[in-house]
Structure 1
Amino acid sequence: MKLRHGITLCSLPATQTGAESGDTQSVDVVLIGAGTMSATLGTLLQTLQPEWTIHLYERLDKAAEESSNVWNNAGTGHSAFAEMNYTTSRPDGSVDIQRAIGITEQFEVSRQFWASQVREGVLSNPRSFINTVPHLSFVWGQERVAYLRARFEAMHGNPLYAGMEYSDDPAKIAEWIPLVMTGRDQQDPVAATRMAIGTEVNFGEITRQMMNSLSRHDNFHLSVNTQVRDLKRNPDGTWKVTVADTHGGGNERSVNARFVFIGAGGAALPLLQKSGIPEARQYGGFPVGGQFLYTTNPDVVAKHDAKVYGMAPAGSPPMSVPHIDKRILDGTPAIMFGPFATFSSKFLKNGSWTDLMRSITPNNLWPMTKVGLNNMDLVRYLISQLRMSESGQFKELQNYYPEARREDWKLWTAGQRVQTIKDIEGKGGTLQFGTELVSGAEGTIAALLGASPGASTAPSIMLKLLERVFPEQVASEQWQAKLKAMIPSYGKALAENPQLLYDVRAMSRELLELTEPDLTTTPASHSEPETSGS
């Protein structure tokens, strides 16, 4: 099989794929970073082209220990049901929901993909990695209540949001989220929307299970405690990937790969820069960390069965939207609230303090500086977060849980994210929210930059990568059949195909053992607005 520009991918005999001899090996695919993205891409490729040889390198001692770890992310199945940063107000007061529609469609692809992996035995015990937890948007104050109602009006008639409920009646909202409403000032106007089919996801467990399945195949080799030191293009268009053991003296070895995917979270940017491809020159990155308050007190946890998203402060990045969430942390029920932004020059939680400085180049220095000058709201927000005391953090929690007791809550430092900065011709340096897929012109190397919605939409992102770097294979009857077996809606817009939407939701609900309501029998139905005067 050929990549763009004629570079051929072929399977290699298993005897040539070992990583122990120290000789330069040749493999079809190298994946860098043992997180959700690499696990998803590896699983797709194993299904689509099982004879291809794949090597995966992870610098830590096991998979899913950085951003994919259940403690290092919000665990929200990001479906845009509640995340108000995915919908924007227009000058006339209406709300643009186009970005939300795109994210909802992508999460539906994730559900289908995970369901298909349960059916094939790649994933097992769905309740260990996905559970039904309603998603709510919650606001207070007249202006925000008006916004949320306009958001609901724009969304609830779309098939993707069938079953969405709205209320500005405090008593009704208290039925949905008693922990949030108990003890609240009844004079303050409030409103909420609710989607009962929201999910809580353990991306670390999904990643580990997919890695375990991949490792059962002779053509797949996972090397942990192994750091990628360099990437250089060979004369024949393949890539020489130089790696070293992080334990045992750091002896270097290399492998030649026909295709390389850099899915190393925050470390993806420095590795992309090492490749030397022109497409990497326009990117910079700024690390943003996060902390959460959490409790496992069963009396508190029993009061809250929801993920409740508020509105972000002006200038804050999307990853900083405040939310109070029901979590299942590797089997332990908990509630988390946050995030609170932190700063570290590391690009990974287990990274180096020199990461930021080493990523600055003559090409991205000015765009990065310009972003800081043009986004003073963001700068002020980060400074305010860094100056916030523990008591200030607890007061923020009380905005969402008025009766919270200090002794029930602990502070946890979550994973690092790197906010992507892109030098766009005519605009200079701009912040890129969401994820950014970067690939070389020859289609032999690609990297994923950015953050939220991230892991929630990993299957869609990796499908986009396949379409970009393997266009001939994706167009083939063989791959098309396999893709549609995994993702029945592949190539179709679910918002425009209501019956297909309800069919795939029913399928994924059954295979993933979700306890959400069955909406498949009422594809034309939706909830009418419910107000305090009704």
Structure 2
Amino acid sequence: MRTSLILVPLCLALASCTKNPAPTSAPPVDVVLIGAGVMSATLGTMLKELDPALTVTMFERMDSVSAESSDAMNNAGTGHSGFAELNYTPETPDGGIDTHKAVDINEQFEISKQFWAYQVQKQYLGAPQTFINNVPHMSFVWGAENIAYLHKRYDALQKENLFKGMVYTEDNEQLRKWIPLVMNGRDPKQKVAATRMELGTDVNFGALTRSMVTHLTGTHGMTLNLRTQVEDIKRGDKGLWNVTVKDLADGQKRTVQAKFVFIGAGGGALPLLEKTGIPEAKGYGGVPVGGQWLVTNNQALIDAHAAKVYGKASVGSPPMSVPHLDTRIIDGKKALLFGPFATFSTKFLKNGSWIDMPASIGTGNVKPMLGAGVDNIPLTKYLIQQVMNTPEERLATLREYLPQAKLEDWTLVNAGQRVQIVKDDPKKGGILQFGTEVVASADGSVTALLGASPGASTAAPIMLKVLQASAFRDQLKTSAWRAKMKEMVPSYGRKLNGDPAFANQIRQQSSAVLGLKTLVLDVPPAVAASAPSAPAVPHAVAAR
């Protein structure tokens, strides 16, 4: 009897005790997008451009679009391109610098810029300044060991075409011109160093997502269902998926049939993926990590800083917790943030449930979850330390980047919630995996996106991976779809870093449309002679 009393509320909480309603009599939907964030909006836009006849339905549990991870205050807003993020360029055992990840992320961000430029040209998004603006990206370090690392990093990146134009300095006077707040009040005897890249960007992913969804609903006929929670996803007849949803306004449930389901629900993707029952979902777990910003309303401070200044992460910290003093452009206004400070809860979403994490653990992933916990003691210690931080301790961290910071100028604001992937590994048992991962059924009829950083910045290339793994993969190989993909992403199927002439052409095209700075790379004469001439780009501005 006592066991029953315990199991009943748990069963109700997991929504597994009631029978799902039968599918509605409406025709099956071609595409169901779960989550109204930048990932679903990007995939929906791509698919409707590739095939306007597709019927698309989007479900979102919140009462507005991009209210979770895509919201401006719930993410870093950095156009992640590897310019400043030191965790993307680890030191190798022999003392060198591995630049592969930084180059790969830069390549991916160039794809996103092309995709956004296409939409701006088509007048889908409005003025680009509403969602993307140039803000220099800087790495800033102190101490002999860190300075030596940064100099090696700079030297290594100068061999990569996409990073040409980066500037390195240890000169305090130069730094005072670039980042006066960071230098004012600093001990003149402290050795510091920095790199700076003028091509850096700040992106308001919330504004971008809302514009894409507005276009999808207004022009492409996508059906948007807000305050609608996906309760279950089960295999139906004839290869269809039965997606059961609940209207959060009246509690009514209904089941929609879909040919293809994309689970792009941020931290909420893992529990929904588990509900599908596909074997590919086994072995995945998740560790939720939240964040908080220190935000200033002191206009003098906001006006005096104009850069994204990234430092080195603490030992054991997740990538999303790399500290940075960050200029943001949100809804046309400059803002200044510092952080993020990590938090921990068992919620998978900022507006999620406290039982999200325990409910996600089952026989299929309990072993890797335990293994990951044992192997990541530094992360556990880091999260505990962060949660226990006092206002004075947070201020002390801020003063490492802003020596004259005053507690009264800064307010602590909750940021978004991310879920780091725990993945079963044949040798290690369970590994905590940083980044994003596409999980798809064998037939491609359901795909899910798991993970975090670099996230939104690489939404377009990630959605290309989703298409390649999805039920649309054969159509993607057709000449018609490939031609359309090249129209949306002119570099589709090609890399930029090894081809400076092509990189110049692509960067100038997208930068001209988006109103961003660009930089003309040096091209060997023999290569320049054989390369097609780039079109005129009168709106492009050369970065200095």
For residues 431 and 502 of structure 1, the distance between their equivalents in structure 2, rounded to whole angstroms, comes to 37
Aligned-residue offset at 1:23: 3.8
For residues 521 and 101 of structure 1, the distance between their equivalents in structure 2, rounded to whole angstroms, comes to 16
Aligned-residue offset at 1:79: 0.5
8 Å contact kept, 2:48–2:220:
no
For residues 377 and 173 of structure 2, the distance between their equivalents in structure 1, rounded to whole angstroms, comes to 40
Q: What is the match of residue 391 of structure 1?
A: 392
* Structure 2: runs of 5+ lacking an equivalent: 1-22, 526-544
Q: What is the match of residue 381 of structure 2?
A: 380
Alignment map for 1:204-215 (pairs within 5 Å): 204-215=206-217
Moved more, 39-48 or 233-242: 233-242
SS of 2:379 mapped into structure 1: helix
Tell whether 2:312 aligns with 1:323.
no
Alignment map for 1:80-95 (pairs within 5 Å): 80-95=82-97
Off by >4 Å, runs of 4+ in structure 1? 521-525
For residues 523 and 158 of structure 1, the distance between their equivalents in structure 2, rounded to whole angstroms, comes to 13
Alignment map for 1:3-152 (pairs within 5 Å): 23-152=25-154
Q: Deviations over 1:401-438 (max 9, x none)?
A: 00112211111001110111001112210011011111
Q: What is the match of residue 494 of structure 1?
A: 496
Q: What is the match of residue 161 of structure 1?
A: 163
Alignment map for 1:509-524 (pairs within 5 Å): 509-514=511-516, 516=517, 518-520=518-520, 522-523=522-523
1:296–1:502 Cα change, 3 Å: farther
For residues 448 and 201 of structure 1, the distance between their equivalents in structure 2, rounded to whole angstroms, comes to 21
SS of 1:236 mapped into structure 2: helix
Aligned-residue offset at 1:218: 5.5
For residues 197 and 218 of structure 1, the distance between their equivalents in structure 2, rounded to whole angstroms, comes to 33
Aligned-residue offset at 1:235: 3.1
Q: What is the match of residue 274 of structure 2?
A: 273
For residues 208 and 277 of structure 1, the distance between their equivalents in structure 2, rounded to whole angstroms, comes to 31
Q: What is the match of residue 437 of structure 1?
A: 438
Aligned-residue offset at 1:497: 1.4
SS of 1:441 mapped into structure 2: coil
Q: What is the match of residue 241 of structure 1?
A: 243
Aligned-residue offset at 1:378: 0.9
1:524–1:171 Cα change, 3 Å: farther
SS of 1:116 mapped into structure 2: helix
Aligned-residue offset at 1:155: 0.2
* Structure 1: runs of 5+ lacking an equivalent: 1-20, 526-534
Q: What is the match of residue 533 of structure 2?
A: none
Aligned-residue offset at 1:523: 4.7
One-letter code aligned to 1:510? A
Moved more, 210-219 or 306-315: 210-219
Tell whether 2:301 aligns with 1:296.
no
8 Å contact kept, 1:419–1:432:
yes
> RMSD in angstroms over aligned alpha carbons?
1.4
One-letter code aligned to 2:166? M
Tell whether 2:187 aligns with 1:185.
yes
8 Å contact kept, 1:292–1:337:
yes
Q: What is the match of residue 426 of structure 1?
A: 427
8 Å contact kept, 1:422–1:430:
yes
TM-score by length of 1: 0.92
Q: What is the match of residue 412 of structure 2?
A: 411
SS of 1:484 mapped into structure 2: helix
For residues 359 and 383 of structure 1, the distance between their equivalents in structure 2, rounded to whole angstroms, comes to 22
One-letter code aligned to 2:116? W
TM-score by length of 2: 0.90
Aligned-residue offset at 1:524: 6.8
For residues 22 and 491 of structure 1, the distance between their equivalents in structure 2, rounded to whole angstroms, comes to 41
Q: Equivalent of 1:173, from 172, 175, 189?
A: 175
SS of 1:402 mapped into structure 2: coil
One-letter code aligned to 2:398? L
Aligned-residue offset at 1:82: 0.3
8 Å contact kept, 2:39–2:463:
yes
For residues 359 and 463 of structure 1, the distance between their equivalents in structure 2, rounded to whole angstroms, comes to 28
What's the % identity of the aligned pairs? 53
Q: Deviations over 1:413-471 (max 9, x none)?
A: 01110111001112210011011111011110000011010000000000111112222
For residues 310 and 25 of structure 2, the distance between their equivalents in structure 1, rounded to whole angstroms, comes to 52
Q: What is the match of residue 261 of structure 1?
A: 262
Aligned-residue offset at 1:521: 6.3
For residues 376 and 426 of structure 1, the distance between their equivalents in structure 2, rounded to whole angstroms, comes to 19
For residues 225 and 269 of structure 1, the distance between their equivalents in structure 2, rounded to whole angstroms, comes to 20
Moved more, 328-337 or 110-119: 328-337
Aligned-residue offset at 1:305: 0.5
Q: Deviations over 1:451-504 (max 9, x none)?
A: 010000000000111112222211111011111111111111100111111111
One-letter code aligned to 2:400? N
One-letter code aligned to 1:94? G
For residues 220 and 505 of structure 2, the distance between their equivalents in structure 1, rounded to whole angstroms, comes to 36
SS of 2:238 mapped into structure 1: coil
Tell whether 2:205 aligns with 1:203.
yes
For residues 401 and 524 of structure 1, the distance between their equivalents in structure 2, rounded to whole angstroms, comes to 43
Aligned-residue offset at 1:329: 2.1
For residues 392 and 158 of structure 1, the distance between their equivalents in structure 2, rounded to whole angstroms, comes to 39
Q: What is the match of residue 310 of structure 1?
A: 311
8 Å contact kept, 1:230–1:271:
yes
One-letter code aligned to 1:103? I
For residues 145 and 520 of structure 2, the distance between their equivalents in structure 1, rounded to whole angstroms, comes to 35
One-letter code aligned to 2:160? N
For residues 415 and 386 of structure 1, the distance between their equivalents in structure 2, rounded to whole angstroms, comes to 15
For residues 67 and 86 of structure 1, the distance between their equivalents in structure 2, rounded to whole angstroms, comes to 21
8 Å contact kept, 1:297–1:334:
no
8 Å contact kept, 1:24–1:254:
no
For residues 438 and 150 of structure 1, the distance between their equivalents in structure 2, rounded to whole angstroms, comes to 36
Aligned-residue offset at 1:216: 1.6
8 Å contact kept, 1:23–1:253:
no
For residues 398 and 491 of structure 1, the distance between their equivalents in structure 2, rounded to whole angstroms, comes to 45
For residues 235 and 429 of structure 1, the distance between their equivalents in structure 2, rounded to whole angstroms, comes to 35
**Higher RCO (CA 8 Å, separation ≥ 6 residues):** 1
Moved more, 502-511 or 73-82: 502-511
Aligned-residue offset at 1:73: 0.6
SS of 1:261 mapped into structure 2: strand
SS of 1:437 mapped into structure 2: strand
For residues 25 and 144 of structure 1, the distance between their equivalents in structure 2, rounded to whole angstroms, comes to 60
For residues 258 and 230 of structure 1, the distance between their equivalents in structure 2, rounded to whole angstroms, comes to 15
8 Å contact kept, 1:23–1:254:
no
